[in-house]
Amino acid sequence: MTADLFEQITAHGAAVNLSSRAKFSLTGSDRVRYLNGQVTNDVRRAKTDEMLYACVTDAKGRIAADVFIHATAEALLLDAEPGLRETLGMRLGRYIVADDVELADVTEEWQLWHVWGEDVTNGLRSNRFGLLGFDVWLPSTAAEPVFDAKPLLSEADLETWRILHKIPRWPNELSAETFPPEAGIETRAVDFAKGCYIGQEVLSRIKTTGKMPRNLVCWETPDEIAAGTVLHNSHNKAVGTVTSVARHPANGRFTVMAMVKAGTDDIAERDA
């Protein structure tokens, strides 16, 4: 990302094409009750004009996927990272037994766009990348939308923007080894009062005790560091791993995201 593009995005917003994301629909009279038992947020609050963020967790409370959900008159629609298309589809279908629910992979049937910035008012309200924006779902056969005065970001530029705004992503910060509170997304993605879902008991216990194995930490440094770098404390003991890194296009400093053992406050390689 160039400094000029960063300045333009900051001042006027941007648009991104997210059509490659995995997309699923749930229909049938039991769809809300069923999905509510599969995800961490309260699907009963899903709206027709706003995206609901949630996680799908395993029985141990770890993340199997993070998803955005919205409702229509006849269905629940959700989207997730492209790499989760097969595994998430299998997971969502696994527990449909006697429910009046039909799950369909509709990835190829829909375009998905996200736009944010001034003068944007149409679409589903959604905070995907650190600022309030809007999702636009269009049939795959429709013409691509035009967002006046909004640059269309490349995947690399979007990744830089995400990291600068410290937004965790699958599989970098969110993975099958991660609890939602470790990544700091529990206030957005988890409803602790909604009732039972797969992994609920473990996450409730974490909330009660406040104890987590790791935490997502972020900092800026003038020194370049690669994703995957193992971090050590002042006693040379491995305490974590760098998950994402991006160079700020304006000041040249590097924003670093890392999963670090809880309680660590002396990362030797870290320049705060």
Which tokens sit at 257? 């995201």
Q: Which distant-in-sequence residues (6+ apart) come within 8 Å of 18 by Cβ?
A: 79, 112, 113, 114, 135
Which domains, ranges and CATH numbers included, belong to the chain?
3-164 (3.30.1360.120), 213-272 (2.40.30)
Tell me: pLDDT of 156 over 60. yes
Residues 6+ apart with CB under 8 A from 235: none
pTM: 0.94
Helix (H) / strand (E) containing 85: helix 85-94
Q: Give the tens place of pLDDT for each residue, 29-80.
A: 999 999 999 999 999 999 999 999 999 999 999 999 999 999 999 999 999 9
In 156-168, which positions are buried (b, 16+ CB within 10 angstroms) versus exposed (e)? ebbbbbbbbebbb
Q: What is the pLDDT of residues 211-232, one digit of tens each?
A: 899 999 999 999 999 999 999 9
Per-residue pLDDT band for 270 (boundaries 50, 70, 90) equals: low
User: Collapsing DSSP states into helix, strand and coil, what is residue 207?
Assistant: helix
Q: Per the structure block, which two tokens stand in for 145?
A: 């939308």
> Which residues are registered as beta bridge partners of 258?
217, 242
Q: Is pLDDT at 193 greater than 50 in this prediction?
A: yes
- Span 92-107, average pLDDT: 95
